[in-house]
Structures are given as C-alpha cells and as structure tokens.
C-alpha cells in the first residue's frame, strides 16, 4: 500500500495551473477569444438576477424551455440577436450594442495622458 501512495502525483493547485497555462501564447490567444462569449453569459445571468427570476421564469416569458435558457447563459453557444432581445425583454431589459475601439496593450501604454506639472 505504501508503494501506491508514492506513485500518486501530488495535485497541482488550479490557480497555479491557470497562471502557467496563460504564459503559453497559443493558450492565451484562445482564452482571450472566449472572453466576449463569457462576458455575454455574465450579462445575461446578471440581468436575470436583477429581475429576481429563475431560468424557468425567463423560459416561460420567452416561450421556450429552461434548458434553452441554460444554454444561452452557458457561454458555450453564440446566441442570435433575436434570442438576446427576447431574453432581455423577458428580464425587463433592452439590448444595447456598441462598437468599441480595439486598443492593444502596447498602444495603451503609449497613450497615457500627460499629468499636469
């Protein structure tokens, strides 16, 4: 039995693994690409929470099923604008779409405002 304990690898803490993975440029690119999808999912969940509704409540208001609402909130799918609008209406919100300039980290550091002397 003592031999088996020695053969088991010590688990890597999740935060340490996360930091190590983010150092890999390919992983980082893919991770950053998912940011928008997860941001939308967070917005949907926050809207439902503010409205004090369950997924089932939202589903009934949208005329769909609770699993369909769960898929919208999962961040694993790209919902249509129509679905987002129906979700917003069901939660007492409206959709606002904005286009925001992309600023690279290098450009952001070069554009720091000058401080008054």
Tens digit of pLDDT at every position of the chain (117 positions): 555 555 666 776 878 888 888 899 998 888 888 887 788 999 999 999 999 999 999 999 999 999 999 999 998 888 999 999 999 999 999 999 999 898 876 655 555 555 555
Contact in structure between 75 and 41 (CB atoms under 8 Å): yes
- Predicted local distance difference test score (pLDDT) of residue 107: 58
- Predicted local distance difference test score (pLDDT) of residue 35: 83
- Predicted local distance difference test score (pLDDT) of residue 38: 85
Q: Is the pTM of this model over 0.85?
A: no
- Predicted local distance difference test score (pLDDT) of residue 15: 81
The matching CATH number, chosen from 1.10.260.40, 3.40.190.10, 1.10.300.10, 1.25.40.10, for 35-95 is 1.10.260.40
CA–CA gap between residue 86 and residue 79 (Å, rounded): 11
- Predicted local distance difference test score (pLDDT) of residue 99: 93
| 88, two tokens | 């917003």
Residue with tokens 């688990």: 11
């Amino acid at each position: 039995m003592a031999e088996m304990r020695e053969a088991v690898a010590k688990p890597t803490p999740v935060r340490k693994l996360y930091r190590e993975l983010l150092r890999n440029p390919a992983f980082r690119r893919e991770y950053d690409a998912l940011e928008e999808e997860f941001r939308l999912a967070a917005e949907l969940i926050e809207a439902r929470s503010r409205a004090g509704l369950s997924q089932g409540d939202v589903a009934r208001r949208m005329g769909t099923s609770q699993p369909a609402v769960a898929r919208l909130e999962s961040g694993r799918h790209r919902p249509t604008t129509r679905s987002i609008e129906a979700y917003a209406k069901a939660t007492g919100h409206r959709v606002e779409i904005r286009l925001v300039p992309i600023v690279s980290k290098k450009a952001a550091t070069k554009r720091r405002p000058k401080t008054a002397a």
